[in-house]
Amino acid sequence: MNHATPEGDSDSPSAAAAGHFVLRLYVTGSNARSAQAIKNLRQICDEYLSGRHELEVVDIYQRPEAAREFQLIAAPTLVRLLPVPLRRIVGDLSDQHKVLVSLEIRSPHEPDVAGER
């Protein structure tokens, strides 16, 4: 399950898709849910953002102050720092289409990988 939260006004998906992405994934230790979120995000970055992203994985057990910075209440949480506006996605990032739409890499009207909306 993934939940996205925009922070501020949004530009068009095509504008965001053309830019450089700075992503930060907050996880809780090395459990299965964290590992799945990391795997899913790396797959998305490799396939859709190759050469135009920075990814930092933050373990909030080791750096609890990092969770306070963005007032995180659940993990895993992906925070898109750039392009603005800041966006958050909570969950293991398993629904690739929702993640791509939430990150504004893909329009919500484009079909997902399986050809469904």
**Structural domain tally of the chain?**
1
CATH of the domain at 21: 3.40.30.10
pLDDT in tens, 37-88: 999 999 999 999 999 999 999 999 999 999 898 899 999 999 999 999 999 9
Query: Is 82 domain-assigned?
Result: yes
Joined tokens for residue 59: 């373990």
Query: Is 117 domain-assigned?
Result: no
Contacts of residue 89, defined as CB under 8 A and 6 or more positions apart, other chains included, come to: 2, 3, 4, 5, 77, 78, 80, 98, 99, 102, 103
Query: Is 113 domain-assigned?
Result: no
Query: Is 110 domain-assigned?
Result: no
Range of the domain at 41: 2-102
* Share of residues in the chain with pLDDT > 70 (%): 79
pLDDT classification of 106: cutoffs 50, 70, 90: confident
